[in-house]
Amino acid sequence: MQMNERKIIIEHVLEKKENLEMALDIISLTPEIHSCIIKTFLGELKVFICEELDKLDMSQWKWETELYNKPYGGKKNRIFGVSSKFGVLQEPVGIALAGKPPNGSFDIGVFSSPTNELCNEPMKDYLQSHLNNKVFRLGRYWESESEIWIWFHSLKFSNWDYTYWAHKDTLIKMHTDPCRVVKDIGNHLLDIIKEVKSVIDAWVEQNPPAP
């Protein structure tokens, strides 16, 4: 927003008492407005993903919905996507969107518990190399106390930058053109799910858990 536009809006807000009251009410409702838009978008994204995943064997996978349940507020990095359990320790491995509210970014990638045997260095290196060679944008390695991202990147496409999910233009696009946003992000998420699933399925078949 240009400085002169900001000045005009501020002057309009301060012009009348009712304008100021409405502006302050809107400010106080900002988290609820953001949450409503993001939850609606994530709900439609789940429907889109589920329709496509019906074509795959996802019987051992489940939905992770932390980001949907609480999309705004707090410091925890929340996820939204699919995960499964592999290996002796039966810890989750999955593919998800991640958001750290209120002003964090949308990241997309592959995560695993640090204790999972799939998270060993050779497997991580292989997954990273496989995904980077499949024309996906170069991923980054990142870890926190609660989970490890084997591979992930920000959602910046040629037609739109969805990196900052609380950005005004992104929120407006999510609300006014949800089908476009769902397809942009959903198709990319599906590509990653399919690639990672094939790698993990092959690894599990070669390394079955002990009886």
Give the full edge-to-edge strand order of the sheet including 61-64.
61-64, 78-86, 91-99, 106-112, 148-154, 140-143
Nearest to 154 by CA among 108, 195, 95: 108
Intervals of the chain under pLDDT 70? 1-3, 73-77, 85-104, 114, 117-119, 135-148, 207-211
- Cα–Cα distance measured from residue 31 to residue 114, given in angstroms and rounded to the nearest whole number: 32
**pLDDT tens readout for residues 117-158:** 666 777 778 888 888 887 566 666 555 555 567 787 777 777
**pLDDT tens readout for residues 22-34:** 989 888 888 888 8
Q: What is the pTM of this model?
A: 0.79
Number of Cβ atoms within 10 Å of the Cβ of 17: 8
> Residue 56 in contact with residue 197, Cβ under 8 Å?
yes
